Structure 1
Amino acid sequence: MELVSIDDIRAAADRVAPHVLRTPLIQADDLWVKPESLQRVGSFKIRGATNAVAVLDPQGVVTHSSGNHGQALAYAARLKGIPCVVVVPEGAPKVKTDAIWAWGAELVVVPPAQRVVAAEKLAAERGLTLVPPYDHPAVIAGQGTIGLEVMADLPGVEVVLVPVSGGGLISGIASAVKALDPSVRVIGVEPELAADAAESVAAGRRVTWEPERTFRTIADGLRADLSELTFAHVRARVDAIVTVTEDEIRDAMRYLAARARLVAEPSGAVATAAYLAGRTAPGRTVAILSGGNLDPSA
């Protein structure tokens, strides 16, 4: 299976530059935080979505999403002036579904186990291009632009902590980081209640968890399983996967607000949670704050 290259990621950086904020590194005590929450759609997903739309040049798009990718694709589709349909699972946060609708996309709500099938059916029925949230080289390359920025902005970085769900984010970041400096440790972080990636790495094969298990975590953006493509990237380029508890996620959200003045949704706080819990390697560390679309009523 062909993996995303550093050249793919550099090309993606050129494509997304007009639409993506080059987020700063913000220091909180001895930790550097990369706040993708500051993106216009509130998460890193804008990078992969805009790169995929540029590469695929579709006439209309559809996706399935827990919320952040759907919002990012709706934004990218609006930039291009094409229709967008987003399939979300029942129970998706209102702050995310409202944003998807506000960017002009059609919203389709289905039971969690049916969202992939529903998106594929809509693609076939309406002639839309399916842009998956992580299982596509162009999406992975777009997310990898974060790795380019980290390596350029923090010389001597030793550890990069990355949230893991479907694996597009960590696949892209690890591909960039390892190409530029193989000695930097890339560590994935996921909730204990949605730890399919950690189990997959331990088993040496891709393991999936049913929605009844993953929907227990408050980290609604980290309930997806790795794909064959992202698992291949993780096995080849990620040093370890660690897990954090629900209470540790909440503590990290409070820490980021108090010490870095950053709003993090639960999914966005897991990398910082791993650092605070001491589950990472020692050294000069960057935690990716992947999203800040926090429901204010939660």
Structure 2
Amino acid sequence: MADFAITIDDIRKAAATIRGQVLRTPLVPAPRLSQLTGATVCVKHENMQPTGSFKERGAVVKLESLTPEERRRGVIAMSAGNHAQAVAYHARRLGIPATIVMPEGTPLVKAQNTRAYGARVILYGETLYESAGRARQIAAEEGLVFVHPYDDPKVMAGQGTIGLEILEDAPEVDQIVVPIGGGGLISGIAVAAKALNPAVEIVGVEAALYPSFQNAIRHEDRPIGGATLAEGIAVKAVGQLALPVVRELVSDIVLVEEALIERAVNAYATLQRTMAEGAGAAGLAAMLAQPERFRGKRVCLVLCGGNIDARILASVMVRELERDERITSFRITSNDRPGLLGKVASRLGDLGANILEVSHGRLFLDVPAKGVSIDITIETRDRQHTWEIFEALAADGLAPKRIDSHCLSETAY
């Protein structure tokens, strides 16, 4: 194995450091995710850590390495959320003052939680890069120790303890699928796993909007940036310590689109009965994107974080119902006659549809003066049930027109 920033011995020492301070998370079989993907899937539930992500491991190792004088002065970190919460939580527990610089667009729940753990929170910049620049400036001005979220040997070794635990609990695993942001997590896991079982395959996953490692390793020039559900891995600059590890030990990097990240978040919630933020669900999204790559294999998914805003989770789940056509909207245009709305509602009830929303309009210019339009959103059992309802309404002479996510469809149904 090449000369990397960390070794298996560093990771074993990190495991001794975090023992009793960080939860040893369970590796849980996932039969319904296995059915969904065609692989034998187990999930490493790092979302069960007190702050909801794997970041506690590296944070504790780094904080425990500080001298008494450094502890007195305090630490500073830049983070989009999970690293911030981990540093704040354990810094308070260890009596170390903590300052966290977060991008201005950080999800509210992550900023609030970081403050609740006792840290001074500074919102600065649109990206982690801008936040990092401000954090280093404050560190120099106030004499604080900078705790990097991924490009630090102590942090990398701490994250690598996940690899030790996976191979202890499932030595027969064929593939470990790991989300990639700056690379600290996957590099630590790769060093640990490959030292224990050289045959295990490490597969990385990046959001398609942030293909930073893909560009660096394959010498590509894909555009980087944009709003992603996986903000925890939305990193533009790869970790320089992690890069050689990823280049040598990671067999492939899969890019996943936003729709698949949403689908994976929903699958964790509905099939695995657990919370996954966008970055945490990226591994499952990769399996959905390239099922043939994983089919028939014993696959471990690293669910690296579960800090997702409740409103975002609700939106994702409703959007998945719409994609599956279990929630659908349509418009009926007809002569305005007494009892029409009641008859339509009764008919939908007879057909087994649940009405979620109704808009009754007479003033639209595309509706005849004596006409009325009714926009209805319904919930059904599945796509086939939706089709049967539309056929029945058409047979009744109501001529429903689908309303998709963009506009009114030109087709009846």
Residue equivalent to 1:189: 205
Aligned residue type for 1:7:
D
| Contact preservation (8 Å) 1:208, 1:226 | no
Residue 275 of structure 1, CA deviation: 1.6
Task: Describe the SS at the equivalent of 2:227.
Answer: coil
| Contact preservation (8 Å) 1:26, 1:260 | no
Residue 21 of structure 1, CA deviation: 1.0
CA RMSD of aligned residues (A): 1.5
Q: 1:122 aligned to 124, 138, 159, which one?
A: 138
Distance in 2 (alpha carbons) for counterparts of 1:107 and 1:174: 32
Residue equivalent to 1:151: 167
Residue equivalent to 2:184: 168
Between Structure 1 and Structure 2, the one with more helix by share is 1
Aligned residue type for 1:232:
P
Residue equivalent to 1:223: 234
Residue equivalent to 1:246: 258
| Contact preservation (8 Å) 1:134, 1:167 | yes
Q: 1:17 aligned to 12, 16, 19, which one?
A: 19
Residue equivalent to 1:202: 218
Distance in 2 (alpha carbons) for counterparts of 1:215 and 1:119: 23
| Contact preservation (8 Å) 1:65, 1:87 | yes
- 1:115-165 Cα shifts (integer Å, max 9, x gaps): 111110111111110000001000000000000000000121010000000
Distance in 2 (alpha carbons) for counterparts of 1:26 and 1:190: 23
Distance in 1 (alpha carbons) for counterparts of 2:218 and 2:109: 35
Residue 2 of structure 1, CA deviation: 3.8
| Contact preservation (8 Å) 2:184, 2:239 | no
Residue equivalent to 1:294: 308
Task: Describe the SS at the equivalent of 1:172.
Answer: helix
Distance in 2 (alpha carbons) for counterparts of 1:214 and 1:142: 28
Distance in 1 (alpha carbons) for counterparts of 2:159 and 2:120: 24
Residue equivalent to 2:282: 270
1:232 aligns with 2:244: yes
Distance in 2 (alpha carbons) for counterparts of 1:193 and 1:2: 28
Aligned residue type for 1:28:
A
Aligned residue type for 1:296:
A
Distance in 2 (alpha carbons) for counterparts of 1:215 and 1:179: 37
Quick one: structure 1 residues 51 and 208, their matched pair in 2 at CA, closer, same or farther if it must change by over 3 Å?
farther
Residue equivalent to 2:77: 63
User: What's the % identity of the aligned pairs?
Assistant: 43
Residue 208 of structure 1, CA deviation: 9.5
Residue equivalent to 1:284: 298
Unaligned 5+ segments in structure 2 are 32-39, 313-413
Aligned residue type for 1:277:
A
Residue 184 of structure 1, CA deviation: 0.3
- 1:219-250 Cα shifts (integer Å, max 9, x gaps): 11011131211111111221111111111111
Residue 98 of structure 1, CA deviation: 0.5
Distance in 2 (alpha carbons) for counterparts of 1:195 and 1:72: 25
Aligned residue type for 1:39:
Q
Aligned residue type for 2:95:
G
Query: What is the TM-score of this pair, normalised by structure 1?
Result: 0.94
| Contact preservation (8 Å) 1:27, 1:260 | no
Residue equivalent to 2:96: 82
Aligned residue type for 2:56:
I
Residue 216 of structure 1, CA deviation: 2.1
Q: What number of residue pairs does the alignment pair up?
A: 293
Distance in 1 (alpha carbons) for counterparts of 2:254 and 2:201: 13
Aligned residue type for 2:197:
D
1:256 aligns with 2:268: yes
Unaligned 5+ segments in structure 1 are none
| Contact preservation (8 Å) 2:4, 2:245 | no
Distance in 1 (alpha carbons) for counterparts of 2:258 and 2:120: 32
1:34 aligns with 2:44: yes
- 1:83-121 Cα shifts (integer Å, max 9, x gaps): 100000011001100010000000011112421111101
Distance in 2 (alpha carbons) for counterparts of 1:71 and 1:26: 25
Quick one: structure 1 residues 245 and 178, their matched pair in 2 at CA, closer, same or farther if it must change by over 3 Å?
same
Higher relative contact order (CA 8 A, sep 6+): 1
Residue 281 of structure 1, CA deviation: 4.2
Aligned residue type for 1:252:
A
Task: Describe the SS at the equivalent of 1:218.
Answer: coil
Distance in 1 (alpha carbons) for counterparts of 2:10 and 2:219: 30
Larger Rg: 2
Aligned residue type for 1:265:
E
